[in-house]
Amino acid sequence: MTVLGVSDLGIMRGSRAVVRDASFAVSRGESVMVMGASGSGKTSVLRAIAGLEPLAAGRVVVDGVVIEPGGVPTGSLRRELYRRVGMVFQFHHLFDHLTALHNVSLAPMHVLHRSRKEAEQTAMALLERLGVAARANALPRELSGGEAQRVAIARALAMGPQLLLMDEPTASLDPARRGDLAAILRQLTDEGCALLIASHDEEFVRGCAHRVLTMAEGRISEGSPR
C-alpha cells in the first residue's frame, strides 16, 4: 500500500529550480533512501513533503492528503498532514527550553489534545523504547548527539506518523551508534512505518534501505549512484 506518492515535483528557490520533475512512491513498511551530493536537492524534497517548502509544480500525496503548488499547507490540510508525516531534522531542532520528555509530550498534548498524564506516559514509553528514558529530564543541550537524535525520533513518533522523514540521520553519529540507529529503523519498518531518508552515507544506506533513489542537480532517479 502506497503511503507517499510524489509526481512531477518541482521546487524553486528564487528563480532557480532546485528540484525538477521528481516522481517516486514509498509504501507501508518500506525504507527508501535518497542519496546525492550536498546541494543536490535531497533536503528540499523532504521539506516539501513535510509542508515546510511550497511546491512549484507537481503534487505530493500522503495517505490521501494532497499537497499542490501554492503556499505551504495551512489550516485543516496542515493538521491532517502532520497526523501522517513526522520529520527528524539533521540538527534535531529539539526545543531548547524543554526537557527530553516535554519535547516528546508537547505536540500530543496540544495538537492531539491528550491529557498531560497520557501524553507523558506515551512519551516515556517511546523514550524507553529508544533507549533514552534515563535522560528524560535532561535539557537538549545536556544530551549527546546520539541521544538528541533518539529524542527527536521519539518526538516525531509520538504523533503516530505513517511516514517518517529523516534528514542526514548519521551525520552526528559514531559507527557504533550508526548500527543502533539502523536497528531502530528496521524495527519501525517492521511495524509498518514508511521511511524516507536523505543521506550520503553509503554504508548506512546499504545496511537499511529497501530501495535507493539518487538525486543529482535536482533530478531524481531509481537506483544507487554509480
Partner 1 sequence: MWKVRFILLVTVACLGQPVRAQTTNELRWGGDAEGGSPFVEADPRDPSRVVGFEVEVAGLLAEGLGRTARFLQVGFTSLDAAAARGDFEVGLSGIEDSPARRSRLAVTIPYYQFREVLTVRDVDAAKFRTLDDLRGRRIATLGATLAYDLLVDAQAKLGIVPVVYEDDVHPYSDLILGRVDAVLLDYVLAERGVRRTPGLTNQSTEVAVGYYVGITAPGNTELRDRMNDILLGAMRDGRLEAIFRRWNMWNEDQPRLYARLTSGGQVEQTAAAPAPPVSGWEAAVRYLPALVRAAVVTLVLSCLSMALAVAVGVLIATGRVYGPRPVRVLLTAWVELIRGTPLLLQLFVLYFGLAVVVQLPAFVAALIGLGLNYAAYESEIYRGALEAVSIGQLDAARTLGLGERQTLVFVRGPQAFRLALPPMTNDFVALLKDSSLVSVITVVELTKETSIFAANIGSWLLPGAMCAAMYLALSLPLARFARRLERTWKR
Distance separating alpha carbons of residues 66 and 5, to the nearest angstrom: 9
Distance separating alpha carbons of residues 140 and 94, to the nearest angstrom: 6
Shorter beta-carbon distance to partner 1: residue 161 or 212: 161
The answer to whether 65 and 81 are in contact (CB under 8 A) is yes
Q: How far is the CB of 95 from partner 1 (least distance, A)?
A: 6
Cell numbers linked to 82: 502532520
Distance separating alpha carbons of residues 159 and 83, to the nearest angstrom: 6
Shorter beta-carbon distance to partner 1: residue 84 or 200: 84
Q: How far is the CB of 115 from partner 1 (least distance, A)?
A: 16
Does 113 contact partner 1 by CB under 8 A? no
Residues 140-179 contacting partner 1, CB under 8 A = 142, 155-156, 159
Considering only 3, 4, 65, 89, the residue that binds partner 1 (CB under 8 A) is: 89
Does 97 contact partner 1 by CB under 8 A? yes
Q: Where are the beta strands (DSSP E) in 14-138?
A: 16-27, 31-35, 57-62, 65-67, 85-88
Q: What residues line the site for partner 1 (CB under 8 A)? A: 50-52, 78-79, 81-83, 85-87, 89, 91, 93-97, 106-107, 110-111, 139, 142, 155-156, 159
